[in-house]
Structure formats: C-alpha cells, structure tokens
Amino acid sequence: MFELTELPIDSTALRAKLARPEAGACVVFEGWVRNHHLGQPVNELHYEAFDVMAKLEGDAIVTEIEHRYPGCTVLCVHRTGALRVGELAVWIGVASPHRQAAFLACRRGIEEIKRRLPVWKKEHHPDGAAEWVNCTTEAASRGPKSADYYARQSALPEVGATGETQLANARVLVVGLGGLGCPAALYLAGAGVGQLTLVDSGKVELSNLHRQILFTTDDLGAPKAEAAVDALRARNPFIQLEALATEFAAQNARTLVAGRTVVLDCTDNFATRFILHDACFSAGVPLVQAAVHRFEGTLDVFRRGSGGCLHCLRQNRSVAELDAAAGNCSGGAVFGPAVGVLGTLQASETLKIILGRETAETFRQTHLINLLDCSVLSIAREANLNCPVCGRVETASSGAARTTSASADTPVMLEAAELAALGPVRLIALLDAGETFDPSRAVAGTLSLPMSDIAQLREMTATTETVVLTCRRGVRSAALARLLRAEGRADIYAMAAGSPAIMAAP
C-alpha cells in the first residue's frame, strides 16, 4: 500500500499495520529531513506532489515489489507539505517470512520511490532563500557525470564525440538473457547504448549463476529481464533500460524488432532463432546471432542483401533436426567461459555496426570458436541460389517478364481484410521442411508446395489469377512474392499473418 499524507508519520502505528503471524522479519527505512544539502544549511523543507499521479505511481511500485518478492507485504508513506529538520519525510516498511527478501524488497522500494515518484521539494535556508529541487534528479546532480564514465572509451580515435553520439542514439534489442545475453547486455550498457531493451520470459534459477553474470543468489526466482535491468542500471545510470518479461514469439516479433538499430539473438533454440531472423530480415535490421554447445560456439552477423541468411545454412533440415544436431542449449551442458566469449563478441559486433566500423566481410562469414584449443575458424557464408528468402534466383527463362510497375521492394503483405477485398484468388501454402498440409482445415481450393521448390512455384503462379502466398510466419512467403514481382508478376501477394491453422509439424 502507498500513502501520501500531510500529517506527521507515526512509525509505530505503521509497523503495527505490517504485523502478521507468518512474518518472520520486518525491515524499515526512514528518511529524515536533514539540516544541510550540497554544502548549504537547511532549516525547513516543503514537499509538493502531483497527488493523483504520485498515488498511481506509488501503488504501481508497491505492486511490482510484492510481485517481485512473493510473500512480502510493502507499506510506503510519503509526506507532503512543510517539514522541519528531524521530521520523517519517507517511511518504507516490508514484512516477510524471511529477512533476505525483506531487505531486498525494502531497498528496491527506496530506489524506485526516489527514481520514479513525481515529488518536488523546496529547501528553505536560514538566510531566507528557498529553491525547488526535483527529488528524482537530486542524486544525479551529486553523482558521477557521463563524461567521466565514458572518458576511456571516447579517447579512442574510432569513437570520439561522434561515436558517443551514435551510441547514445542507438536502439538495441537483446533477446534472451542467459549466458550469451548477460555479457552482451553488460558491455552494451557499459558502452552507452542509449536505449537498451531486454526480452526474456524466464526467471533466475540456481543453475544459471555459473555463467549468467548479471545475476546473484539474491535474484533467484526473479524475472530475468527485470533483474538484468536492475544490475545494468546500477552500473550505468545514463542510459534508458527497458525490461520485457515476455516470450519472444511470432505474434510480437515485428513490433519488437521495428525501429531497432541492431538486434542480438541470445536465445537457445532454433525455433526462436528463425522467428527472430525472419523478423529482422523483413525489417532490414542487422541481426547479431551466436550459439554455443559445450566448449564451442558460432557467431554470425546477418543483414539483408549481404551474404547468406540463416535459411541458407539450414540445408533443408527441420528445426527439430537442427536442435538435435546442435544440442539445444536449453538445459544442456555448457562451458561458462564459452558463452561469455561469444556474448562479448556479440556486443563487439553490435558496437562496430553502430559506430560504422563494420566491413563487408562482417556479414559474409560464420566464425567457429573452440575454447578447448583456443582456435577460431572463419568460413564464407554465401547466399544459396535456391534459398527462398535471400537466394539470387535467375529470372525464369520461359519468355520475357511481364510489364509491371511493382518492384521487389513494393509492399506485398496483406492483412485478412485486404485479402478479402481482392476477390477470387489462388492461395498457395508454402511448406517448410517437416511441415504437413491439412486441406480440411484450409480455405477451399488452397494448394500446397514445398518452400524450396521455386521452379514449381513459378509454374503454379504463371496464370492470370491473383495469387496469395502464405507460410507459417509470413516472412518467407513475402520474400518469394517479391522475387516473383521482380520477375514481372505484379498481382502476387503474401498473407501477413501466415497460416498456422493449415500447417503443422509432424
């Protein structure tokens, strides 16, 4: 519960409100009015709050803390109006079955109230002067300066003032906060990436701690995204951090990727990797991807139009086959320094892209790192000519291309309402490796075709009908629609939402 009050705070009564039989600990913080600030004497303070906003934000803070630390009961009271030296300005109490949770919850309450609550105070000095101070920026005014924080980095000729501005303006998404995501996020925050969004639906477990360096035993059971933001905020107060304790999936992929400078794939399974890859490919956002198995790891940087994509590497194998071959990292054996090295390399590649220090080879090579013999092997990653996503397939030789005003870059994705407005269409479901087609669950007349059979696709679309392509996630069908448009087929589209209802893995 959160309260604003103009009355003096009665700490004894507040502690009594927290008493309950199952509580084994009570931790209390009291903020008093002191007689000085920044070297000046103070004899009185006057607090003013936006009451409605402050109450809503205070309630939200208390709710978040109680959710973060199950079993804790939190009570916070903040004074408003005039206060003399020695009076209580803020009181936070936490009752909990265990002392450790009570300590952690109380400390979080102190920091969040100071950082987020819309409260101002006016300091009155003995000489009659008075000045307003924003409580949320007071600590920052006394604390470290960003120029000092980044001094050793900005001294690099490759960074300098221009690079610092580029970093500050960057918007980076990190998906997965395991052994890869933790070091990657740590170095990106340290470098001053201006807006860093962290996505992970998991919670911190004891088995994570040997390699997931942002977390401690105090974080056990906490949402990884929130615990990571707390750790990074403590290291760098000069950047914007956003925690999303949600699963990265096809339904939110486009929204999360849109507008990012770079995206990092720090996940542990191929199903999510392909969703993330396809969303970045569609949006034209560079993707820095790494994977680790035991002592070995791979590093790839993908950018549309440069080198082969993730689908070029799969060689028509299903996601299940890839996970089996690579040893899905989720729950598998892993050498802690291996994920540390690969995650750090992901941060390095990301910073190079932001600073404009990447080369053409950055997007055309796969790096294989083996920590057992400390070897690094870099191999070319060329586009597969028959890749349905990025392959440079030659124009069909059966006659000249049709005349059209559409180009490969013309938007081709259609929502359901737009699809209905086209009238009669030929719907073709493109099947990935391992997927099957159920005509009984499809729109009448829907045809199916393996994703890789581009020659047959050309034949099936060489009609006067309007054609709509669909696949599980909608991204590769859009890529093929653009390819066929580039070959002169103007009236071909892709379904934006895909068609999971008519396709399923065996």
- pTM for this prediction: 0.72
pLDDT of residue 240: 95
Class of domain 413-504 as given by CATH: alpha beta
Q: Does the annotation mark 471 as catalytic?
A: no
CA 96 to mean position of chain CA atoms? 32
Residues 189-229: tens digit of each pLDDT: 999 999 999 999 999 999 999 999 999 999 999 999 999 99
CA 500 to mean position of chain CA atoms? 25
pLDDT of residue 398: 34
- Give bridge partners of residue 300 from the DSSP assignment: 289, 366
State the Cα–Cα distance between residues 305 and 186, nearest whole angstrom.
Answer: 30
- Give bridge partners of residue 290 from the DSSP assignment: 299
- Look at the domain 146-380 and name its fold: Rossmann fold (3.40.50)
pLDDT of residue 465: 81
The CATH architecture assigned to 2-142 reads Alpha-Beta Complex (3.90)
Q: How many CB atoms lie within 10 A of CB 52?
A: 10
pLDDT of residue 348: 98
State the Cα–Cα distance between residues 491 and 124, nearest whole angstrom.
Answer: 73
Q: At what angle do helices 224-235 and 181-191 cross, to 10 degrees?
A: 30
Closest CA to 116 of 124, 106, 108: 108
Residues of the chain with pLDDT under 70: 134-143, 314-331, 391-413, 416, 433, 473-475, 486-487, 496-506
pLDDT of residue 38: 81
pLDDT of residue 473: 65
The CA angle 251-261-313, to the nearest 5 degrees, is 65
pLDDT of residue 194: 94
Name, in order, each residue with C-beta under 8 angstroms of 325's C-beta and a sequence gap of 6 or more.
317
Catalytic pick from 329, 387, 390, 471? 329
First-residue to last-residue Cα distance in the chain: 51
Q: Is the dihedral of CA 5, 120, 48, 65 positive or negative?
A: negative
Render 322-374 in DSSP notation, one character per residue: HHHHHT-STTS-B-HHHHHHHHHHHHHHHHHHHTT---GGGGSEEEEEETTTT
Q: At what angle do helices 51-68 and 99-116 cross, to 10 degrees?
A: 150
Average pLDDT, the chain: 85
Domain limits, the chain: 2-142, 146-380, 413-504
